[in-house]
Amino acid sequence: MKWIPITAIICIVIAVSVAAAAGINAPIGVDTAKEKAQDFLNAPDATVQYQKTERLNQGEYYVFGIGGGQVYVNAHTGAVERATFDSARKDSHEIRLDQAAAEAAARAYAEEKYSGFAEKSMRLIESNLVSHGDAGSEYLYIWREEKNGVLTPNTVVVNVNPGTGEIVSYIGIRREIKCPLEPALSRDEALKVAAGEFPGIRVTGATADLSVEYTRPDAQTLTWVVTMKGEPEGDVLQGGLVVIDARAGEVLMVSPYL
């Protein structure tokens, strides 16, 4: 009869383990997410209004309005992965910050808000002053993590108001890489596949980057992201964007230029 308490204990242990495992992936709930948003804003009393829950390929988000802006909190990790500050767009017509000062502001913000920014191999892949016409301008900084020559989904984007130095928007995604990083398709093979999607164009330039993308919900895929530009025909630019599964060789997206 000794086996009865032993079996019961084993059952309890299994049940607790399963519950704990499930808890890892359970949504944190709106109230906890709201606190995370307030922490991110360094304003525990900030008015944060729940708007919606949004499900995207790379994750599920609780979206909060912050009175002239939004904060996206990852529903499972609690990390704030996006924030926009509409009021920070004011006075962005006059360029008072030079490129170096703007980059320093963007980098400082990234280091403060993105856990592990300094330790990761984050490469600055784009830094531009972008004009939006009468709506002003913004400095745009994009970092992507690079591993073995592959761009991962770990990315930080910071937009800075060139007039005031205020942060206009932030995106910071941090994920564990779960897919193999060795392509079966070479760069040349990827370019050949992409060229096949735009038959007859006279190619004037092409780029190809290995990139881990969330092509389906919660599923990472190693891809070749190819841009192919051709000479215009009929007064229209030829070519476009092609995404290829770098291991299976399957074309996942063909998106011609408008």
Partner 1 sequence: MKRWLCMLAALFLLAALPAAVSAAPPAHNYDCSDTTPTAYDAQVDQAAMGYSSSSSMNAHASTAYSTFRSDAIFFFNGHGLYYDDSHKGGGIKFSSESWILADTDGHYPGNDQYYIADYGTDIRDVLLAVYLACYSSHDNQYNGDLLQQTMNKGADICLGFDGEVEVENGKCWSGNFWDRVRNGETVASAASNAKDDCYWHWPIGYWGVDTYEISGSYNSYLTPARYGIY
Binding site for partner 1 (CB under 8 A): 56-58, 70, 82, 84, 86, 89, 130-135, 140, 142, 144, 151, 153, 155, 157, 168-169, 171, 173, 211, 213-215, 223, 225, 229, 232, 234-237, 240-241, 243, 253, 255-258
Judged by CB, which is closer to partner 1: 38, or 169?
169
CB of residue 156 to partner 1, shortest distance in Å: 11
Amino acid at 257: Y
CB of residue 99 to partner 1, shortest distance in Å: 17
> Exposed e or buried b for every residue in 96-108, given b needs 16+ CB within 10 A?
ebeeeebbebbbe
CB of residue 248 to partner 1, shortest distance in Å: 16
Could you tell me the two tokens for 18? 């399963």
Count the residues in the chain: 258
Q: Residue 196: what are its φ and ψ, rounded to 5°? A: -65, -20
Cα→Cα distances 253→197, 211, 214, 219, 223, Å: 10, 14, 13, 16, 11
Could you tell me the two tokens for 242? 């092609």
CB of residue 95 to partner 1, shortest distance in Å: 16
Judged by CB, which is closer to partner 1: 35, or 232?
232
Judged by CB, which is closer to partner 1: 82, or 147?
82
Neighbour tally for 224: CB within 10 Å: 25
Judged by CB, which is closer to partner 1: 38, or 211?
211
Judged by CB, which is closer to partner 1: 38, or 221?
221
DSSP 89: G
CB of residue 97 to partner 1, shortest distance in Å: 18
Q: Is 65 exposed, middle or buried (0-12, 13-18, 19+ CB in 10 A)?
A: middle
Neighbour tally for 190: CB within 10 Å: 24
Judged by CB, which is closer to partner 1: 35, or 214?
214
Helix (H) or strand (E) holding 65: strand 59-65
Do the beta carbons of residue 41 and residue 50 sit within 8 Å?
no
Quote the Cα angle for 70-71-73, to 5°. 150
CB of residue 234 to partner 1, shortest distance in Å: 7
CB of residue 226 to partner 1, shortest distance in Å: 10
Judged by CB, which is closer to partner 1: 3, or 148?
148
